[in-house]
Amino acid sequence: MVSDIISTVEFNYSGELLATGDKGGRVVIFQHEQESKNRPHLRGEYNVYSTFQSHEPEFDYLKSLEIEEKINKIRWLQQQNAAHFLLSTNDKTIKLWKISERDKRAEGYNLKDEDGRLRDPFRITSLRVPVLMPMDLMVEASPRRIFANAHTYHINSISVNSDHETYLSADDLRINLWHLEITDRSFNIVDIKPANMEELTEVITAAECHPHQCNVFVYSSSKGTIRLCDMRAGALCDRHSKFFEEPEDPSSRSFFSEIISSISDVKFSHSGRYMMTRDYLSVKVWDLNMENRPVETYQVHEYLRSKLCSLYENDCIFDKFECCWNGSDSAIMTGSYNNFFRMFDRNTRRDITLEASRESSKPRATLKPRKVSTGGKRKKDEISVDSLDFNKKILHTAWHPKDNVIAVAATNNLYIFQDKIN
Amino acid sequence: MAGADGDDSLYPIAVLIDELRNEDVQLRLNSIKKLSTIALALGVERTRTELLPFLTDTIYDEDEVLLALAEQLGNFTMLVGGPEYVHCLLPPLESLATVEETVVRDKAVESLRKISQEHSPVDLEVHFEPLVKRLASGDWFTSRTSACGLFSVCYPRVSSTVKAEIRQHFRTLCSDDTPMVRRAAASKLGEFAKVLELDYVKSDIISLFTALASDEQDSVRLLAVEACVSIATLLPQEDLETLVMPTLRQAAEDKSWRVRYMVADKFSELQKAVGPEITKNDLVPAFQNLLKDCEAEVRAAAANKVKEFCENLPEDNREQIIMTHILPCVKELVSDTNQHVKSALASVIMGLSTILGKDNTIEHLLPLFLAQLKDECPEVRLNIISNLDCVNEVIGIRQLSQSLLPAIVELAEDAKWRVRLAIIEYMPLLAGQLGVEFFDEKLNTLCMAWLIDHVYAIREAATCNLMKLVEKFGADWAQNTIVPKVLGMANDPNYLHRMTTLFCINALSDVCGRDITTKQMLPVVLKMSEDQVANVRFNVAKSLQKIGPVLEKITLQNQVKPVLDKLATDKDMDVKYFAHEALSVLELTYPAHD
């Protein structure tokens, strides 16, 4: 079903919960089961905890446009009490959801007896206060805030600030700052819309708040640049504090250079010292103190460079891949085609390609590394570039904040892999 | 309390109790609001043993319901059996204090504070303080933030050992991992300091204050600015320089414009708290810097405080300080690039004239007023015009009036209707200040022009304006100047203008009085009952209903009734309807009896 295509995956801060959003506007939350006592060598599994419809399709009457219900991003809030909170957004509207557990039910009525029949009002001789009795665990999701009408263009990112009271939302041309408790106002902090739309050459592709510094955020563009802004400096952050761009290699210039330089995702490292960007063919790690080039570059699928023409024709060149860090920032992961995903160890410089598909992953079996052959001679177990299935793309991946557990979304299937414990 | 057979007296209470769980949130809310009725019916013991435990565990509800519950519980002392049992209210309020909705939590804290007063000192130590400790060391941020609001109410009445514990808890929360908790601690710092012994204020609070004022989170630092005011008020003057001023100076130059904004916003309170000496030496230069800040929001906040700051300077060198230090900055602000800054300045600058006196006003301030009166931003001009009374007191309006008139005319004809609306609203005030001759000469035409504006809201405001002018200048003036013009519109080819005549008559009949209404206005109204346009005709009926009470009974019978009767048989449905309404309200439905 088309509406089941997973469009976003996100672990919460403790890693206990994993949320997925899909094209049909639904959010499914998985919970990590506690390790079972009889089989301590296996980690607990993730099982469905809650499912709810977050967004519905809408129609913008003023512009005669449909507003898709597809969930673009989910971001969790830090847990503040027994309930869990997350922000989910489609193209236009951001919603704050509360997910809470109920395990008690009130029993005992005054006006009805045990079978539900109404009692005679004149025969009520004493008052009954209801008593709470245990019941089967029920998980409820309720929308607590709706942040609407602040974006003319499609929202591509949301990011919660380290102050736990504000968050930003970004569309193609603007970034807004919201307070979690206030839905009828937001502050516009970045606006790159030119006075004359004919002069538009660059759009915002992703934005993120710094993990510790409440005043810093970054946004990436379709031209391969990243701007870092400081909210302390001024109310409007149109002028950046830092500008990150790698100078182009003139030898590899082609018709497609600008398109493949477009950054599809930007993520700060947990330490806050680095950030990672994903463009079409590579992942780059930047030191925030060095603006003129990245400190590390990893090729995701360089074998596609000679195929850019056909990838342009089938629109795959515009696919937006995400990337993520592991909890200790020692490894990074991103997706590719043919249900392949790639992991890079920053210390050893080793990389691995794995496949997320039913055939190659039986529960509890170890994944076999995959390899794509580019030359004429194809070894056994390798797959040739031309046999890759470009409809099987892994755009969304997530890494548990502490453990070596990863979630990989392959079209409408979610795969959860974990490190074997020895 | 049992009822006898055949007695339904318990029924309403039974309904209320059952509705505590009804699916409809309005019914649940209603029951919660009547919780005291339920408690009375149950009696104190059942309230304590059954009702409260039930309420403690059902915190799954909508905010409105939880908010109402938190409020009710604050008044429940007698319903649980008096101060001896007031501690029974603590468990439900404790759960409400962990809810994520700030309004509910705040109300729960408010109720806890209220009932803490009903606790005896022993009960405070046995029940209340342990609750505060539990909240303060709770796992959830929400419990820890609520704890911050409870320290100050239990501190005064507990033993010194417990006091030490409370101080320790507060210290811990000020350096909590979570910004949310540190924010709560910072916002309660001043209140807590007020109940502490002065020695502890100096030893404990100052270091906490300094730490919070240097917090890495902007949202925490800016709350420390507010705390600064409270703390400064508590300390003796000689300690301010060493204990408070370094932090305040740091805040006024903070890297984050939001913190500097807070300083600007609280400037008057800070000024009062630190006293005249420190103001002269420290706050004057700080204020100058804020007026010249690189961020417009900060300049605007400071500009808003110019008058108050100057007013509160010590009398002996007030004028000198203003002329030397403040006025030059103010002059710069008049031509600021940002319109909000100019607008903020315009709303207070006139107030300086009373402080500086006639000569300084004419020489230094008048050019500034005139410059702002010609500003390109309408809001700036409006703010000047709305504060003319200050200047009037000092130098009289004549000096300004030459510049004033073109400014008013320009605003009155602004393309944006909201700007036109704003100036209309000032018109009665201006008319009063400028006097009837000036008004007749220069402003009368404007007021009439507004009556035929394209925008209905303007026509409506203009009508109301006329009424207020008549209230000021009197019925005679009205008869000579505006009534003829208003009645003249009754022949306008545009039906909207003809209707405006009727609306004006509605507004003016009371203030003009019976005579003018009967002799001049009524004939016009009656004639319009034959208008081609139905809207005009039914408004005639409505007008007659409105002005009827001003007229004599004879007039109503002989002149109004025949016309209404005719309209009651009009071919238009609405005309008939309103005519019948009017006849009924004016009691003219049936022929008069002798």
The percent of residues in chain A predicted with pLDDT above 70, rounded, is 93
Question: Which residues, 6+ apart, have CB-to-CB distance to B515 below 8 Å?
Answer: none
Tell me, rounded to whole angstroms, the distance of Cα B274 from its chain centroid.
28
Tokens found for residue A235: 């109310």
> What is the tens place of the pLDDT at every residue in B165-186?
999 999 999 999 999 999 999 9
HSE-up of residue B247 (Cα within 13 Å, Cβ side) = 28
* Confidence tier at B419 by pLDDT (50, 70, 90): confident
CA distances from B74 to B124, B154, B351 (A): 16, 16, 45
Burial class (CB in 10 A: 0-12, 13-18, 19+), B368: buried
Question: Nearest CA to CA, how far is B295 from chain A (Å)?
Answer: 6
**H helix runs in B117-236, sequence order:** 121-123, 129-136, 141-148, 151-154, 160-174, 179-195, 198-200, 206-213, 218-234
Q: What pLDDT, on a 0 to 100 scale, did the predictor assign at position B3? A: 45
Sign of CA dihedral B252, B255, B256, B257: positive
B594 has a pLDDT exceeding 50:
no
Please count the helices (runs of H) and the strands (runs of E) in chain B: 44, 0
Q: What pLDDT, on a 0 to 100 scale, did the predictor assign at position A199? A: 94
B98 has a pLDDT exceeding 50:
yes
Q: Which of the residue ranges A110-114, B210-214, B300-304 would you say has the lowest mean pLDDT?
A: A110-114
Tokens found for residue A277: 């960007």
Q: What pLDDT, on a 0 to 100 scale, did the predictor assign at position B434? A: 76
Question: Nearest CA to CA, how far is A21 from chain B (Å)?
Answer: 24
Q: Interhelix angle for B267-274 vs B218-234, to 10°? A: 30
Q: Which helix or strand (DSSP H or E) is residue A386 part of?
A: none
Q: What pLDDT, on a 0 to 100 scale, did the predictor assign at position A422? A: 36
At position B80, the amino acid (one-letter code) is: V
Which of A180, A232, A238, A241 should be substituted to probe chain B, the one whose Cβ sees the most B Cβ atoms within 10 Å?
Answer: A232
Q: What pLDDT, on a 0 to 100 scale, did the predictor assign at position B181? A: 96
The percent of residues in chain A predicted with pLDDT above 90, rounded, is 73
> What is the tens place of the pLDDT at every residue in B225-281?
999 999 999 999 889 989 999 999 999 999 999 999 999 999 999 999 998 889 988
Q: What pLDDT, on a 0 to 100 scale, did the predictor assign at position A102? A: 87
Q: What pLDDT, on a 0 to 100 scale, did the predictor assign at position B8? A: 65
**Residue contact B140–A164, C-beta within 8 A:** no
> What is the tens place of the pLDDT at every residue in A250-291?
888 888 999 999 999 999 999 999 999 999 999 999 999 999
> What is the tens place of the pLDDT at every residue in B486-539?
998 999 999 999 999 999 999 999 888 899 899 999 999 999 999 999 999 999
Name which of A204, A94, A211 is nearest A158 in CA terms. Answer: A94
Secondary structure percentages of chain B, helix, strand, coil, to 5: 80, 0, 20
Q: Which helix or strand (DSSP H or E) is residue A169 part of?
A: strand A166-170
A421 has a pLDDT exceeding 70:
no
Higher pLDDT, B590 or A143: A143
Residue B101: helix, strand or coil by DSSP? coil
CA distances from B170 to A326, B31, B98, B155, B399 (A): 36, 38, 18, 11, 60
Mean pLDDT of A324-338: 96
CA distance B350 to B399: 14
Tokens found for residue B9: 């007296």
Measure CB to CB from residue A214 to each of B100, B141, B218 and give the nearest one. Answer: B218
* Confidence tier at A33 by pLDDT (50, 70, 90): confident
Q: What pLDDT, on a 0 to 100 scale, did the predictor assign at position B388? A: 79
Mean pLDDT of A354-365: 77
Question: Which residues, 6+ apart, have CB-to-CB distance to B286 below 8 Å?
Answer: B248, B249, B252, B263
CB B284 within 8 A of CB B304: no
**Angle made by CA atoms A40, A43, A47, in degrees to the nearest 5:** 125
At position B553, the amino acid (one-letter code) is: K
CA distance B439 to A263: 65
Kindly list the residues of chain A whose beta carbon comes within 8 Å of any beta carbon in chain B: 78-83, 85, 98, 100, 102, 104, 106, 109-112, 121-132, 140, 162-165, 181, 212-215, 231-235
Q: Which helix or strand (DSSP H or E) is residue B73 part of?
A: helix B63-73
CA distance B113 to B89: 12
**Is B340 part of the contact surface with chain A (CB cutoff 8 Å)?**
no
CB A344 within 8 A of CB A298: yes
Q: What pLDDT, on a 0 to 100 scale, did the predictor assign at position A41? A: 53
Q: What pLDDT, on a 0 to 100 scale, did the predictor assign at position B387? A: 83
Tokens found for residue B317: 């060198």
The percent of residues in chain B predicted with pLDDT above 70, rounded, is 98
Tokens found for residue B40: 């009375």
Q: Interhelix angle for B267-274 vs B257-265, to 10°? A: 60
Q: Which helix or strand (DSSP H or E) is residue A349 part of?
A: none
Q: What pLDDT, on a 0 to 100 scale, did the predictor assign at position B389? A: 77
Q: What pLDDT, on a 0 to 100 scale, did the predictor assign at position B209? A: 95
* Confidence tier at A39 by pLDDT (50, 70, 90): low
**Residue contact B140–A81, C-beta within 8 A:** yes
Burial class (CB in 10 A: 0-12, 13-18, 19+), B148: buried
Cα-only R_g, chain A: 24
CB B50 within 8 A of CB A129: yes
CA distance B41 to B35: 10
**Is B11 part of the contact surface with chain A (CB cutoff 8 Å)?**
yes
Nearest CA in chain A to B255: A232
Residue A419: helix, strand or coil by DSSP? coil
Contacts by residues A183-191 (CB-CB < 8 Å, ≥ 24 positions apart): A183/A145, A183/A146, A183/A147, A183/A148, A186/A147, A186/A150, A187/A235, A188/A236, A189/A229, A189/A231, A189/A235, A189/A236, A189/A237, A190/A219, A190/A229, A190/A236, A190/A237, A190/A238, A191/A236, A191/A238
Mean pLDDT of B4-16: 72
Name which of A228, A204, A205, A206 is nearest A217 in CA terms. Answer: A228
Give residues 29 to 88 of B whose Cβ lies within 8 Å of A: 41-42, 46, 50-51, 53-54, 57-58, 60
Measure CB to CB from residue A124 to each of B3, B58, B100 and give the nearest one. Answer: B3
Q: What pLDDT, on a 0 to 100 scale, did the predictor assign at position B343? A: 95
* Confidence tier at B380 by pLDDT (50, 70, 90): very high
Give residues 496 to 525 of B whose Cβ lies within 8 Å of A: none
B71 has a pLDDT exceeding 90:
yes
Q: What pLDDT, on a 0 to 100 scale, did the predictor assign at position B1? A: 45
Nearest CA in chain A to B57: A132
Residue B576: helix, strand or coil by DSSP? helix
CA distance A218 to B93: 42
Give residues 94 to 133 of B whose Cβ lies within 8 Å of A: 98-100, 102
Q: What is the mean pLDDT of chain A?
A: 91
Number of A/B CB contacts below 8 angstroms equals 123
Q: What is the mean pLDDT of chain B?
A: 90
CB B125 within 8 A of CB B162: yes
> What is the tens place of the pLDDT at every residue in A109-151?
887 776 777 777 777 778 888 888 888 999 999 999 999 999 9
